[in-house]
Amino acid sequence: MEPIRTIESRTVVIPRENIDTDQIIPGRFLKVTDKQGLGKALFSDWRYDADGKPRPEFVLNRPEAQGCTVLVAGDNFGCGSSREHAPWALVDAGIRAVVSTRVADIFRNNALKNGLVPVVLDPASHAKLLAAPGAKVRIDISSQTVTLPDGTTASFPLDGFAKYCLLNGVDELGFLLSQEEAIAAFESKV
């Protein structure tokens, strides 16, 4: 994983609540046995019509969305299934951070393992971003802050270990493997 310190981008806003993992990537795209190329399937049923043609009105298909790496969504993003295909698809499509007022537990865990930053804001700060699609934001991992369109900053929670992993580009498995002695000791007790 590449280290991440800051993310600067204009925002793409999908102002819906409870965006579930079946919307992020529908089940029929889970038949793969690798991770590559899932960005094509991101929000597939919203992005394409029944013939597979892009729907011009869907925000991710608009020209101004190209190159944006910050997705702002309504409350409770990522609810539903444990499919890591959801963050894989988002990352493959270029998204680096998802901003909401609540992020589902399994999605958050999965996102962090793929360098996708879940940013949970207070409702007032979140409302400012919802109201200003395309606004320029800067997300700073070290200080756990987002600069909002009106120039103010809002802070967001981030687990200390997750933060360390993001800033240093390390994955959790290395840490777990280093616990071998403790794991073996635990196993010998049970």
Partner 1 sequence: MTAATEARRARTLFEKVWDAHVVRAETPETPAVLYVDLHLMHEVTSPQAFSMLRERGLQVRRRDRTLATTDHSTPTLPRLPDGRWPFFDAQNAAQVAQIERNARDFGVELHGLGDPQQGVVHVFGPEMGATQPGMTVVCGDSHTATHGAFGALAFGIGTSEVGHVLATQCLLQRKPRSLAIRVDGALQPGVTAKDLILAIIAQIGVGGGTGHVMEFTGPAVRALTMEGRMTLCNMAIEGGARAGMIAPDDTTFQWLAGKPRVPKGAAFDAAVARWRALPTDAGATYDREVTVDVSRLEPMVTFGTNPAQGIPVTGRIPEPGAEKDPAARATLESALRYMALTPGEPILGQRVDVVFVGSCTNGRLEDLREAAKVMRGRKVKTRTLVVAGSHAVKQAAEAEGLDRIFREAGAEWREPGCSMCLAMNGDMLEPGQYCVSTSNRNFEGRQGPGGRTLLASPATAAAAAVSGAVADPRRLVEG
End-to-end CA gap in the chain: 35
Distance of CA 15 to the CA centre of its chain: 15
76 binds partner 1 (CB under 8 A): yes
In the numeric block, the tokens 């094509």 are attached to 40
- Say if CB 39 and CB 66 are below 8 A apart: no
Kindly tell me which residue out of 5, 37, 159, 168 binds partner 1, with binding defined by CB under 8 A.
159
Query: SS3 for 130?
Result: helix
128 binds partner 1 (CB under 8 A): no
34's tokens: 């690798």
Q: Number of residues interacting with partner 1: please give it, by CB under 8 A.
A: 52
Kindly tell me which residue out of 5, 6, 15, 136 binds partner 1, with binding defined by CB under 8 A.
15
Positions that interact with partner 1 (CB under 8 A): 15-18, 20, 22-23, 26-28, 30-35, 45, 50, 74-76, 79-84, 87, 102, 104-106, 109-110, 113-114, 159-161, 164, 171-173, 175-177, 179-180, 182-183, 186-187
